Structure 1
Amino acid sequence: MNHFNYKNNQLFCEKVFLGDIAEKYGTPIYIYSKATLLHHLDVFKKAVAIVNGTVFYSVKALSNINILRLLSENGAGFDIVSGGELHRCIQAGVDPKRIIFSGVGKSKAEISAALKLGIHAFNIESSEELERISMISELLKQRADIGLRVNPNVDQGGHEYIKTGRKDDKFGISFAEAKELAKSYKDNPHINLIGIACHIGSQILELDGFETAAKQMLALSIELSAVGCDVRFIDMGGGLGVQYNGEETKTPDELLTVYAKIFKDRDEEIYIEPGRAIAANAGMLVTEVEYCKNNFLIVDAAMNDLIRPALYQAKHKVHEVVNNKVSKKTFDIVGPVCETGDYLAKGVELSCKTGDLVAIGTAGAYGFSMSSNYNTRPRSAEILVDGDKFTLIRRRETLSELIANEVES
């Protein structure tokens, strides 16, 4: 569900015409619906309640601190993968006790910062990382709460680059190694093993992979408990797919029903980490047509603004901000970046001309958060719509800001 709809052939976000936002703040511009974000969070919260669960929003999907603050105020926890995301959460007023730190390459500085703040847990992904956390915890005279991220060898995900649960992927440890680490560290004074975690991939459209992983996680929890570990949580990660271009998707209720059957009568708390499923359909990228050239619509947004089509061959629906309902033509929508791979959509039917606005749908997740300054292009502004009001939550970068950190040699 989202709150982007046509009214009298004009595309609205909630009660605001997208053209009015573009007129005031320019293009390209990311526009998010507050109502959609909160609706999606609420659906997950209600679904996970049947398994004594908690929602930890995946910050990497959409990380603007205003969005993080909004989700935090409405009951979300947060899954982070960097010191930068930790900083964002703290700046947004998030309680550190509602933060889980995942990721394969946590630095000493990142671990120290998270320990000093008192985050909920680290999901560790190697024996060396666990050893590093133990050493830093000892230096800080603290005890770190730990989840062991295991690799269930499940091949799921919408693209090769976002499959994360196979045995040869860089993520997690084997179940055998998890058992050995649990035995080695269960009495360590600086390590507190309190959970297990997995994440099998992203943009997953079927439930069988989640079911397979959950059964393995349950078996591991039972085995670790048998050797004296206090397994308090099972973190099943995220990955539930969304509709970009007509795909059949599963709902949070359907996913959690699967988990409820598997974890029935268990005491462990079940964590889930949705990111895309909360943010994707809550955002659009609005861009202006600069030129019409043969079958190309050359717009002012580019792969630096939305890299998913170029990187993942992702297919986003494209909407005319004003639906002219005249004869349409097939276009490829491309940007100004000097690469043939710079496209936002291919083979779309539109009736646009120079100066018209188009909106790239389902752009709320992995849109702005993956944007860059390639070709020395300033990153776009971001807007949050709330009913009939809209607020600037990130101003457009300036040319001066692009070179502000460069120093004379």
Structure 2
Amino acid sequence: MHHFNYVQDELFCEEVPVAHIAEAVGTPFYLYSHATLKRHFRAFDGAFAGLKHLTCFSMKSNSNGAILNLFAREGGGVDIVSGGELYRAQRAGIEPGRIVYSGVGKSEEDLAYALEAGILMFNVESSQEIDRLNEVARRAGKRAPISLRVNPDVDPKTHPYISTGLKENKFGIDIDDAPAEYARAASLAHLEVMGISCHIGSQLTQVLPFVDALRKVLGLMDALRSSGIRIRCLDIGGGLGITYDRETPPPPEEYAAALKQTLAGSDVTLILEPGRVIVGNAGILVTRVLYTKTTGQKHFFVVDAGMNDLMRPSLYQSYHAIQPVARRERPRLTADVVGPICESGDFLAKARELEAFEPGDLLAVMSAGAYGFSMSSNYNSRPRPCEVMVQGGIFHVIRRRETFEDLVRGESLPGEPA
């Protein structure tokens, strides 16, 4: 459920007309519903009531500080994949003891930064990273808390670009090699083995792959216990999908029930890393039609948002519903919705049956709260859009629109001061 609804054919976000926000801040812009974000976080976290757990929002899906702060106030943590995300998380008020650090390419500087910050746990992804982190911790005079991210070779049945749990993927340590790597890590003086981590992919619409992966991980946990290595935390990752079009993902309650049943009798703390399932349908991208164009039998709506603003359709061929901000009685036609970027791959929708929009019309690109702004760029030297959050009857600009000056900040000509 989300709080984007029509009132007398005008699209509202909670109690605010979307057109009113567009008039105030210009287009394109990202728009989030505070009520939806809170509702989704509570629905997910609450589904695991009765089980020792920590919900660590996967902030690569959306790293705006206002959103992170909302989750912090709800008692959540975050899953980070870079030093920059750690900086954002701390700035937003996330407690270090609620931060887990994943990712295959952590630099030595970022490892040291996270160790000094006192994060809950590093999800280590390779044998060489084990050695690197041990050395960083030795120099700092600390012990680094770790889990090993294992690759269980489970097919998540999702887009290949967001599949992470197969042998062919770059992520994690092969589960068959994990016992030896755990034994080695446990022998190192500056590492403290805390858990096991596993994440098989994103936008999963079935429970079974999660259960299959969890069973494999529990088998590993039993083997480690037999060898004297105690596991206190089990990080099962994220990946629960949402409805963009006709998908029917399981609700959090069904997902949680399946994991609880599989974990019956276990005394570990479960760490969960939801991202898309919380923020995906809590945000939209609002854009304005600049031109309409017909070439032979092909129709185009040229809008002011492009692939630099929302990369998912071009990168993943992803579907995002497109709705008018003001509904009217008018003919329908099949058209592409395209942006101003100088790439043929710059589109938000292809061969979509839509109303016959006109220049000036506002469009809402739905389900854009996850991997929208966080994947945006300045390609074609386009300033990134602003981000807005509605709370009841008030809207707040939570990130201002970039300016041309922002595009060149940090640049200098040869011979000029850097």
TM-score using structure 2 length: 0.97
Q: Deviation at 1:404?
A: 1.2
- Equivalents in 2 of 1:19, 1:112: separation in Å? 47
Amino acid at match of 1:145: P
Task: Name 1:172's counterpart in structure 2.
Answer: 172
CA contact (8 A) 1:5 1:12 kept: yes
1:270 to partner: Cα distance: 1.1
Q: Which residue of 2 is the match for residue 341 of structure 1?
A: 345
**Is 1:356 aligned with 2:361?**
yes
Of 326, 333, 339, the match for 1:329? 333
2:115 match: secondary structure: helix
Q: Which residue of 2 aligns with 1:313?
A: 317
**Which stretch has the larger CA shift, 217-226 or 17-26?**
217-226
Q: Does residue 381 of structure 2 align to residue 379 of structure 1?
A: no
| Match in the other structure for 2:32 | 32
Which stretch shifts more, 362-371 or 156-165?
A: 156-165
Q: Equivalent residues in 2 for 1:193-342 (5 A)? A: 193-294=193-294, 295-342=299-346
Letter in 1 for 2:377: S
Paired letter, 2:398 = I
The separation in 1 between residues aligned to 2:286 and 2:262, in whole angstroms, is 43
Name the aligned partner's letter for residue 291 of structure 1: Y
Q: Give the match for residue 135 of structure 1.
A: 135
* 1:157 CA drift (Å): 4.5
State how far apart, in whole Å, the 2-side matches of 1:15 and 1:178 are: 52
Equivalent AA in structure 1 for residue 5 of structure 2: N
Contact map agreement 1:318 1:348 (CA 8 A) in 2: no
State the superposition RMSD in angstroms: 0.9
Structure 1 counterpart of 2:339, one-letter code: G
2:284, 2:207 → 1: CA distance? 27
Preserved contact between residue 332 and residue 353 of structure 2 (Cα < 8 Å): no
Q: Which amino acid aligns with 2:133?
A: I
Amino acid at match of 1:174: D
Moved more, 44-53 or 216-225: 44-53
**Contact kept? 1:290, 1:298, Cα under 8 Å:** yes
Residues 160-196 of structure 1: CA deviation (Å, up to 9, x unaligned): 1000000111000012321012212224321000100
Give the total of aligned pairs. Answer: 409
Could you list the runs of 5+ residues in structure 2 that have no partner in the other structure? none
Matched with 1:109 is 109
Instruction: Give the corresponding residue for 1:57.
Output: 57
Distance in 1 between residues matched to 2:337 and 2:99, nearest whole Å:
39
Larger deviation, residues 281-290 vs 223-232? 223-232
* Structure-1 residue corresponding to 2:411: 406
SS in 2 for 1:55: strand
State the distance in 1 between where 2:61 and 2:20 align.
26
Show CA shifts across 1:21-46 (max 9, x none).
00000000000001111111101111
What pairs up with 1:20-169 in 2 under 5 angstroms? 20-169=20-169
How far off is 1:230 after superposition? Answer: 1.8
CA distance in 2, matches of 1:177, 1:283: 41
Displacement of 1:325 in angstroms is: 2.4
Moved more, 51-60 or 9-18: 51-60
Task: Return the letter of the residue paired with 2:395.
Answer: F
Kindly state the Cα deviation for residue 49 of structure 1 after the two structures are TM-superposed: 2.1
* Separation in structure 1 between the aligned mates of residue 184 and residue 399 of structure 2, nearest angstrom: 47
Report if the CA contact (8 A) 1:382-1:395 is conserved: yes
